[in-house]
Structure 1
Amino acid sequence: MAYPEIKKIDYNPSLKGLAHIYPDIVYSLAQRSGTKMTIISPQIPEDSQEKYPCIVFVQGSGWTFPNIYYQIPQLSQLAAKGYVIATITHRNSLEGHPWPACFEDVKTAIRFMRAKSEEYHIDSDRIGIWGTSSGGNMALLAGLTADDPNYRTEEYADFSDRVKLVVDCFGPADLLQREARLENPTPVDIALAGGNPKENLDVVKDMSPIYKVKEGMAYPPFLLVQGNNDEPVPYEQSLNMFHKLCDCGADARMIEVNHGPHEGTFWSQELLDLIFGFIMERL
């Protein structure tokens, strides 16, 4: 009998193209239960000395508690390309943690990745941040406030929270322009501001990346991505932020998703490939 030809392929000693998940890693003790992240890493041979660039990913949650599982399938694509991804939780504003508690956690997560760079095979000089919605807001802020003592906790204080790249997807950039939320604040708005936001406009301004941009500063590259049919975060928020960055000499790029809403059908493989391309080119 003539059998079909057997296809032969080489084995994969470098484990290239494969990913591994480390779940529920406590990176901060700012709350009693511990604040956790999940790390998605390339699969790494035991004897490897290779170091990989790292992305800290902050899922949008309205500054409450992120669902870190929402983007794990997509982030795993990037991990398989040779990036260590830390998708993080942070303190929930509705549980008695006003601003800047959640942002302090984002900064702590960046320092944690540097502190654990040997353990997770991270190139500590190549750490970037990517966030969506409220996570995008904090990603922008992280890129604009490198090593700012106003947001530094004692955890891993000897390490820098500087990032080398920022990707922001539909993050609010100017919260002072959200007049409807200022006039009729939600419970989250009140929790973040520590009271009526209209009586705590200094906090609202501190949360707004657009007011942090200064001419002549050495900022990392920024990629802003926004749908033009986004109701919670109007397109103009990202457009004005993009213009402000460019006007102040920053290296900024922007992608407009036609008919793109907030999450959901905003996403496509085409968009992910553009974001991955920016990360792979700049980090």
Structure 2
Amino acid sequence: MRKLFPALVCFCLAAACQPASTDPERPLQAPRGYLNETLLTIAYGLGSLDLIESAPAVPENLDAFKDIPYKTINGQELQLDIYRKKGLREPAPTLIFVHGGAWKKGKRQDYLPYLIDYAEKGYITVTLSYRLSGVAKFPAAAQDVNCGIKWIKQHAEEYGIDPDRLALIGGSAGGHLSLLLGYGGEEPLFNRDCEQGPDSGVKAIVDFYGPVDLTTSYAISTEQVQSFMGSRFEQDPDMYRLASPRTFISADDPPTLIFQGTIDSLVPVSQSDSLQLWLQEAGVPNEYHRLKGWPHTMDIAQEVNDYCQFYIDRFLAKYL
């Protein structure tokens, strides 16, 4: 792979570089970012931005259980995939990955790099599909993810999963759904069409640049949010509030790890800034990594991905 930030490019783009973190509580420094997305695009064009492998091969030391049906609704079968190390003998903590794509696209395989990395670290990893906005509007996606969490708990013994040690991880729309169900999974609206069984509570949440308040002026004016909701805010403000993770924040919510870039042009950094504030006010343990000069989907950059995994590892070791 091409080396990240060679000397020539750092010289050419010196004005774009942001100072790395010097927080003693964070031993790994934040990767240097850019003043704007245009300069980042130039760096990529010059061959200086090393990206992660988007579709890595599944190593031979992992078992992969694919295309497992967990819910059928209106003729559509929803599936999930499970990865784990071969030879696991004890129930293992499990990470449930929820893909992004503005609620209207994306697929569960998009998180394969994380699924493999964390399965090799000893976690069981799961990724699930949900109904996209072109098929069904809110609350369909939230209901599907909630049913998926319940299914995983119901079938935990079959796959060696520890049902008491689950974490939700998602980016963008997947971050939104992870926060929404992690905080509001007991909301009756989100529990329709699920088989009776355990609750959908989890022990921890990792949020990559997920929107947390869909009632802001910016959110209600975007095509992605309107398509997800199936109505304008003025037509059904209460439903927009129910779709906002902020609505469900309370003191007993799971510890939350947040990653957000400051030049994100899709989900404003103010969303994650506000999330941290609301969690602190509620007394919910949280950790916020506000990466200067990085955009939406910043963790496809290898150095950002390494940074995020370092802090995910520490967070999960503490709370899961």
With the shorter chain as reference, the TM-score category is 0.7 to 0.9
Report what 2:129 is aligned to.
Answer: 89
TM-score, normalising length: structure 1:
0.85
Conserved 8 A contact 1:20-1:43: yes
What's the CA shift for 1:181?
4.9
1:34 partner letter = E
CA contact (8 A) 1:213 1:244 kept: yes
Distance across 1 between alignment mates of 2:212 and 2:219: 14
In the alignment, what sits opposite 1:227?
Answer: 261
Select the residue among 163, 166, 185 that pairs with 1:127.
Answer: 166
- CA deviation after TM superposition for structure 1 residue 169, in Å: 0.5
Q: Which has the higher contact order (CA 8 A, sep 6+)?
A: 2
CA deviation after TM superposition for structure 1 residue 270, in Å? 2.0
Higher helix share: 2
Read off the aligned partner of 1:165 and give its amino acid letter.
Answer: A
2:204 to 165, 168, 190: 165
Partner residue, 1:72: 112
The alpha-carbon deviation at position 39 of structure 1 amounts to 1.1
- 1:141 maps to amino acid: L
Aligned counterpart in structure 1 of residue 312 of structure 2, from 264, 275, 282: 275
| CA displacement, residues 214-262 of structure 1 (integer Å, 9 cap, x when unaligned) | 3xx3111111111111110011100111111011111111111221111
- 1:32 corresponds to which of 75, 88, 97: 75
Deviations 1:92-135 (A, max 9, x none): 1112x111100011111110110111110011111110110011
1:247 matched to 2:281? The reply is: yes
Partner Cα distance (1:225, 1:31) in 2: 36
1:98 matched to 2:141: no
Following superposition of structure 1 onto structure 2, how do residues 45-60 of structure 1 map, counting pairs within 5 Å?
48=89, 50-60=90-100
In the alignment, which of 270, 277, 285 is matched to residue 236 of structure 1? 270
Number of the residue aligned with 1:18 = 61
Deviation of the 1:180 alpha carbon: 4.2
Residues 143, 162 of structure 1: 8 Å contact kept:
yes
1:114-160: CA deviations, max 9, x gaps? 01111100111111101100110111112211433221024332111
Evaluate the alpha carbon distance shift between residue 33 and residue 278 of structure 1 in structure 2; reply closer, same or farther with a 3 A threshold.
same
Task: Give the structure 2 partner of residue 7 of structure 1.
Answer: none
Q: In the alignment, which residue of structure 2 is the partner of 1:9? A: none
Q: CA–CA distance in 2 between the matches of 1:64 and 1:55?
A: 23
Residues 62-95 of structure 1 deviation map (CA, whole Å, 9 limit, x = unaligned):
1124322222122211111111111111001112
Is residue 41 from structure 1 mapped to residue 84 from structure 2 by the alignment? yes
Q: Which residue of 2 aligns with 1:182?
A: 220
Retained in 1: the 8 A contact 2:214–2:225? no
User: For 2:154 and 2:161, how far apart are their aligned partners in 1?
Assistant: 10
Distance 1:234 1:250 in 2: 22
Relative to the length of structure 2, the TM-score reads 0.76
> Residue 253 of structure 1 aligns to a residue in which SS?
strand
Q: Which amino acid is the alignment partner of residue 97 of structure 2?
A: F
Q: 1:209/1:181 Cα in 2 relative to 1: closer, same or farther (>3 Å)?
A: closer
In the TM superposition, what whole-angstrom CA distance separates every residue of 1:154-179 from its partner, at most 9, and x where no partner exists? 433211100110111100011111x2
Shift of 1:29: 0.7
For residues 18 and 164 of structure 1, what CA distance do their matches in structure 2 show? 27
C-alpha displacement at 1:19, in angstroms?
2.2
Contact 1:60/1:132 (CA < 8 Å) preserved in 2?
A: yes
**Partner secondary structure for residue 94 of structure 1:** coil
Q: Secondary structure at the match of 1:211?
A: helix
* Aligned-pair Cα RMSD in Å: 1.9
Q: Does 1:203 align with 2:239?
A: yes
**Structure 1 residue 150 corresponds to structure 2 residue 189:** yes
2:199 alignment partner AA: S
> What is the DSSP-based 3-state SS (H/G/I as helix, E as strand, rest coil) of the residue aligned with 1:176?
coil
Partner of 1:194: 230
Whole-Å separation in 2 of the counterparts to 1:116 and 1:245: 32
Which segments of 5 or more consecutive residues in structure 2 lack a partner in the other structure? 1-59
Q: Indicate conservation of the 8 Å contact 2:215/2:233, yes or no.
A: no
